[in-house]
Amino acid sequence: MNEILHISLDGQEAAILITEIQSRHHQMYKVTLENGYSNIFFTDVETGQWVEEDLGFTNLARQIGNQVKRLNFRPIHVPKLLNWHKLIVNDKPVSFGFFCFLHGNLKMFEIYNVNKKYMYTLAELQQDEWEVLNHSEVVLNNIDPSLIQHITKVLPLFADFE
């Protein structure tokens, strides 16, 4: 789905092209402005506010979100309360958020990047055996095995489903 919308940029009306990006976790769009600037915009699963990828909660993200709401694309937001965890991996601070739930007998964990964007779901199959689910090929090709190893050591400490 492509739509042309109008927003106010620096006091002037500007046309933007929005293209929906399919996501089960966010409302997400690639947005291209008349001046050629392009970025991904998506809703924060916790608050429903709009986020400009890698830039955060910007005025432009808020304006894009307001325009999308006018079109009534999936207008209802059901908040997810994420647990946020910080750790050190290879001498670098790393933060991630997660939402845990049961799917049958499997413990599932949706993993979110510090920029509030969904990355993938981890399923605990057995003790110390995990599977990566609901990912894109891009994410799968860029997964840091060391990070996954650290994340999977932390997650069981926060999920007591018994």
Is 161 exposed, middle or buried (CB count within 10 Å of its CB: 0-12, 13-18, 19+)? exposed
Cα atoms found within 13 Å of the Cα of residue 58, Cβ hemisphere only: 15
Q: What is the DSSP letter of 48?
A: -
* pLDDT value at 114 more than 80: yes
**Residue 77 covered by a domain:** no
Q: How far apart are CA 16 and CA 37, in angstroms?
A: 10
Please state the domain count of the chain: 2
Q: Do 94 and 57 sit in the same domain of this protein?
A: no
pLDDT at 83: 92
* pLDDT value at 33 more than 90: yes
64 is written with which tokens? 């894009």
Q: Do 55 and 91 sit in the same domain of this protein?
A: no
- Say which amino acid occupies 122: L
Whose tokens are 């937001």? That residue is: 77
Cα atoms found within 13 Å of the Cα of residue 80, Cβ hemisphere only: 20
- For residue 102, the enclosing domain spans 83-158
**Residue 76 covered by a domain:** no
- Stated as kind and residue range, the H or E segment containing 96 is strand 92-103
Q: What is the pLDDT of residues 35-74, one digit of tens each?
A: 899 999 999 999 999 999 999 999 999 999 988 888 765 5
Query: How does residue 92 score in pLDDT terms, banded at 50, 70 and 90?
Result: confident
143 is written with which tokens? 């997964």
Model's pTM, two decimal places?
0.82
**Residue 75 covered by a domain:** no
93 is written with which tokens? 């601070």
Handedness of CA 144, 148, 150, 154 (dihedral sign): positive
pLDDT-wise least confident of 88-92, 130-134, 156-160: 156-160
Q: What percent of the chain has pLDDT over 90?
A: 38
Q: Do 64 and 30 sit in the same domain of this protein?
A: yes
CA separation, residue 37 to residues 18, 30, 58 (Å): 12, 11, 15
Q: Do 66 and 94 sit in the same domain of this protein?
A: no
**Residue 87 covered by a domain:** yes
Q: Do 16 and 61 sit in the same domain of this protein?
A: yes
* pLDDT value at 141 more than 80: no
**Residue 35 covered by a domain:** yes
